[in-house]
Amino acid sequence: MNAVQKPKVSLPDFKASMAEAIESGDLKQVHPKLEHYHTSDQYGRRIFVDAGTAIVTKVHKSEHITIALKGSCTVVDENGVKTEVVAPAVFITKPGTWRAVYAHDDVEWVTVHSCKERDLAAIESQLVCDTPEEVDQEDYERVLLEYNMTEKMARLISENPRTMVPIATREDKVEIKPSKVQGQGVFATQDIVAGEKIGTVRIASLRTSIGRYTNHSVNPNCEFRHSTNGGMEAYALRDIGAGQEIKVCYRQARKASIAAAQFLEKES
């Protein structure tokens, strides 16, 4: 079995270390120059970063286009994956992601967003926040609206004991414990490699503890797949280290659930 690649950089720890160094005077805080561009339904931001500057971005709330116009930099994402970016380069930034960036020389970036706001404070509030948990909670609320559900309705469905396998059913790779996202969550007890089966989500029409307690994320590290017997299994989308919370996109999970239900209906 391939080993999980351990992140060499933890962004929360790196961000905290930078804040401490700024507070102590060991690092000088700088504010990169920005230029702002607006159309009727788009917002663009041009960012100028001097050589030798390290920055930690906020957490992105929505998918957008990112363009590297000038310079080269090292980028480390929230999973510890390091990328060397040399301009010119164009890529898509996904929601729920954030990065640490070190500019090797003078760097210029442009980001383009779907945004009708003109007030910079309102733009900031719409596009970014401080933690991944905030992004996940906001997107969870959008999921409820998309499915015309209230929080109370969702809880009644998820907490219905008649649809669950007894909680004593357990999986060796996971454990249930309090989550920063919401209530209880599913956490890895060991390293799980991308593509590896995490555990059983549903047995026929009954949910296991994984199916009951896996929290939502706009940037999930697992997906649910329906199996040939009408059940569902959870699989890792990327490497998951021991102790990390396992999250799924509820939109994708719902599609898998519908496919599993349709299979059971055909077999009955």
Q: Per-domain residue ranges for the chain?
A: 11-129, 132-267
In this model, does residue 125 exceed pLDDT 60?
Answer: yes
* Per-residue model confidence (pLDDT) at position 263: 75
Q: At 6, is the pLDDT very low, low, confident or very high (cuts 50, 70, 90)?
A: low
Q: What is the mean pLDDT of residues 152-167?
A: 83
Q: What is the mean pLDDT of residues 226-250?
A: 91
* Per-residue model confidence (pLDDT) at position 181: 86
In this model, does residue 4 exceed pLDDT 70?
Answer: no
* Per-residue model confidence (pLDDT) at position 28: 87
CA-to-CA separations, 199 to 67, 74, 79, 226, 229, in angstroms, rounded:
39, 36, 22, 12, 15
Mean residue pLDDT of the chain comes to 90
In this model, does residue 188 exceed pLDDT 90?
Answer: yes
Q: What is the mean pLDDT of residues 83-100?
A: 95
In this model, does residue 168 exceed pLDDT 60?
Answer: no
In this model, does residue 230 exceed pLDDT 80?
Answer: no
Contacts of 115 (CB under 8 A, 6+ apart): 41, 42, 43, 123, 126, 127
Across 33-136, the runs of DSSP E, i.e. the strands, are 33-38, 42-49, 54-56, 59-60, 64-70, 72-77, 82-86, 89-93, 99-103, 107-114, 128-129
Q: Count of residues for the chain?
A: 268
Same fold yes or no, 11-129 and 132-267: no
Cβ neighbours of 12 (radius 10 Å): 12
Q: At 1, is the pLDDT very low, low, confident or very high (cuts 50, 70, 90)?
A: very low
- Cα separation, 217 vs 221, in Å, equals 8
Nearest to 135 by CA among 174, 73, 198, 181: 181
Sign of torsion over alpha carbons 264, 265, 267, 268: positive
State the CATH class of domain 11-129. mainly beta
CATH tag, 132-267: 2.170.270.10
Nearest to 7 by CA among 101, 59, 79: 79
- Cα separation, 140 vs 99, in Å, equals 23
- Cα separation, 214 vs 236, in Å, equals 13
* Per-residue model confidence (pLDDT) at position 9: 64
Alpha-carbon Rg for the chain, nearest whole angstrom, is 21
